[in-house]
Amino acid sequence: MNDQFKELLRSRVQAAQRESLLAMALFAGFILFFIYWGMKLVFLFIPALVFAVIAYFVYKKFQGDFKGADYWLKQFEENPENVVWIKPITVKHTAGFVITLYKEQKFQILTADNLAVTLKCDKAGQAEVFLKGCQQTIPNAHIGYTVQIKSIYKKDPDEFISSLKASNLYSPIGG
């Protein structure tokens, strides 16, 4: 794994982890606020419970973000066959649903054990460094997105690659 790719992966995963930790801290703050005031006004325990349930589901959905950079670097170096899908994402930010203000390039890394992390690669050259690094380290991972591919992954992430091959939808990042 080249150093430029390694540093990009580390910095982008750390950024995703910081965002997830901030979100969890906000949920914890709301939960504690409602619990505190719920001792005085009992009906405020209900919002505390709602925020706790939402926080649990957010944690489950973004579990890969909480793993940290060392976990993801280890996946790429020691367990590359576990990384099965690179999903490119382009987010367009618009004004009034008409004028595109700017675009963000992101990549979501998904594993056979149903973990995911989304990396923002919007600075010049980051997407290219990321894709070249993936081609070298995880050449068998699928790249691309369709609704059909998403449903195949949701059905069985562990058998994702073999299911794509059987459906003639497999597009390895290594070419």
What does the alpha-carbon distance between residue 24 and residue 59 come to, in Å, rounded to a whole number? 8
pTM listed for this prediction: 0.87
Q: Which residue has the higher pLDDT, 64 or 44?
A: 64
* Residue ranges of domains in the chain: 3-69, 81-166
Strand arrangement of the beta sheet that strand 116-120 belongs to:
116-120, 99-111, 83-95, 142-143
What would the pLDDT profile of 34-45 be if each residue is shown by its tens digit? Answer: 999 988 888 888
Judged against a pLDDT cut of 80, whether residue 88 lies above it is answered with: yes
Reply yes or no on whether the pLDDT at 139 is more than 90: yes
pLDDT of residue 123: 86
Whole-angstrom distance, CA of residue 56 vs CA of residue 72: 22
Q: Which residues, listed in sequence order, are joined to residue 31 by a DSSP beta bridge?
A: none
pLDDT of residue 174: 86
96: left (phi over 0), alpha (psi -120 to 50) or beta: left
Report pLDDT digits (tens) over 152-167. Answer: 999 999 999 999 999 9
Quick check: 124 pLDDT over 90?
Answer: no
Handedness of CA 48, 53, 57, 63 (dihedral sign): positive
| % of the chain residues with pLDDT over 70 | 100
Q: What is the mean pLDDT of the chain?
A: 94
Is the predicted pLDDT of residue 96 greater than 90, yes or no? no
- If we measure between CA atoms, which residue out of 54, 34, 52 comes closest to residue 44? 34
Q: Which fold has domain 81-166?
A: 3.30.720
Top pLDDT among 124 and 136 is at 136
Give the dihedral sign, CA 69/118/122/96. Answer: negative
Considering only residues 9 and 100, tell me which one the structure prediction assigns the higher pLDDT: 9
What is the pLDDT, as a whole number, of residue 73? 96
The helix/strand count (H/E) of the chain reads as 7, 4
pLDDT-derived band of residue 98, with 50, 70 and 90 as boundaries? confident
